[in-house]
Structure 1
Amino acid sequence: LEERLRTADSDKTVSENARKQLEDEIRRMKILLDQTVADGERKALEDAENQMRLLEDDY
C-alpha cells in the first residue's frame, strides 16, 4: 500500500510539472501570437499609408 502511495505521489508530481510546463508554453505562444498580430497590423497600416502617399503623389 505504501508503495502505491509513493507511486501515486510521484505520478502526481510528474503530472503537475508537465502541467506547469504546458501552461508556460501556452503563455509564450500567446505572447508570440499577440506580437505577430501587432506586427501584421503595423505592416498593413504602413502599406495603406504608402498607398495613400502614392495616390496623393499621382494627383
Structure 2
Amino acid sequence: MKKKLPEINLKELEKLKEENFRERLEFLDKYADWVKKTDNSKWSSAQKAIINRKSD
C-alpha cells in the first residue's frame, strides 16, 4: 500500500521563505546596533555564553 504524500503549496512556501529571510535581516540589524553601542566586556561575555551553550 502506497502512502500518499502531503500536498505542498509552493507559493505559501516561498512566502514563508521570504518572510524568514526578512526577519533574519531585521535581527542582524538589531544585533549589529547592540554590538556597536555595548561595552566590549559585556558583548564578549554574551558571545562566550552563546558559544558555551552551543558546545553543550
TM-superposed CA distance for 1:24, in Å, is 0.4
TM-score normalised by length of structure 1: 0.52
TM-score normalised by length of structure 2: 0.54
Q: Could you say which structure has the higher helix fraction?
A: 1
Name the % identity. 14
What SS class does the counterpart of residue 20 from structure 1 fall into?
helix
TM-superposed CA distance for 1:34, in Å, is 3.8
How many residues matched? 35
- Runs of 4+ displaced beyond 2 Å: none
Larger radius of gyration: 1
Higher relative contact order (CA 8 A, sep 6+): 2
What are structure 1's unaligned runs of at least 5 residues? Answer: 38-59
What are structure 2's unaligned runs of at least 5 residues? Answer: 1-6, 43-56
The 2-side partners of 1:31 and 1:23 are apart by 12
